[in-house]
Amino acid sequence: MSSRDEILARLRAATADVTTRPGERGPVPIIAATSESAQATLTLFVETVTDYRASVVRCRPEQVGAEVAAALVRGRAHTVLVPSGLDPAWVERARDAGLRVRPDEDDEGRPLSADQLDGIDAVVTAARVAVATTGTIVLDHAPDQGRRALTLVPDHHVCVVRAEQVVHDVPDAVALLDPARPLTWISGPSATSDIELNRVEGVHGPRTLDVVVVD
């Protein structure tokens, strides 16, 4: 038997139980991951994000400003960038702590350049949706999240996630997202293990991720 015949024989054996013909669609697979309750989903999200070496804190709505300020001070930030649509109350305590909170624009009203963003210590944003099973936060870059560069260049990202934005699994998140919008999926701080299998953080995004969960 030639090598070609052997390969074809293996393919026929591997597909012997396939009943659909070429061009036909088989049954659509169903992903049926479920959660006991919304609270269980939220708890799972906190645990999974923490496993990614992100710092996570849960708080009440009136405590968001204090928790955001605490995260920024803990990260030794001096300059903090905020998107135009962010709730001003979320960074009011940071201003009180002496941090320089600024918008994403220069003195002439233009978006900051990559070099200017590189001089920013931290950014504070909201989120669109979060996934409990994967510990992923998804941004669709609405006004309270800003353009994509804001969360890729500064070294510290503080992200505020509301409890009702946390879903159980990826299909639940995809159902809520607009595929026409730019999407950024964040699972913990930026990290890679490509270099001699040593974990290196901050290679292609923020080195530090703080998540403030509001419930």
Domain of residue 198, CATH code: 3.40.50.10420
Judged against a pLDDT cut of 60, whether residue 215 lies above it is answered with yes
Residue 8 within any structural domain of the chain: no
Strand partners for 59:
214
Q: How many structural domains comprise the chain?
A: 1
Residue 58 within any structural domain of the chain: yes
Residue 10 within any structural domain of the chain: no
The residue ranking higher by pLDDT, 53 or 136, is 136
pLDDT of residue 154: 92
The mean-pLDDT minimum among 20-29, 122-131, 133-142 falls in 20-29
Residue with tokens 């990826």: 170
Residue with tokens 């995260």: 71
Residue 16 within any structural domain of the chain: no
SS3 146: coil
Residue 18 within any structural domain of the chain: no
Residue 165 within any structural domain of the chain: yes
Contact at 8 Å (CB) between 129 and 183? no
Quote the tokens at residue 205: 């995004």
Residue 106 within any structural domain of the chain: yes
Compute how many other C-beta atoms are within 10 angstroms of the C-beta atom of residue 76: 10
What Cα–Cα distance (Å) separates residue 161 from each residue in 11, 57, 203?
A: 48, 10, 24
**Residue 88 structural domain:** 37-214
Judged against a pLDDT cut of 90, whether residue 143 lies above it is answered with yes
Judged against a pLDDT cut of 60, whether residue 193 lies above it is answered with no
Residue 27 within any structural domain of the chain: no
Q: Which residues of 138-150 are buried (b: 16+ CB within 10 A; e: fewer)?
A: bbbbeebbbeebb
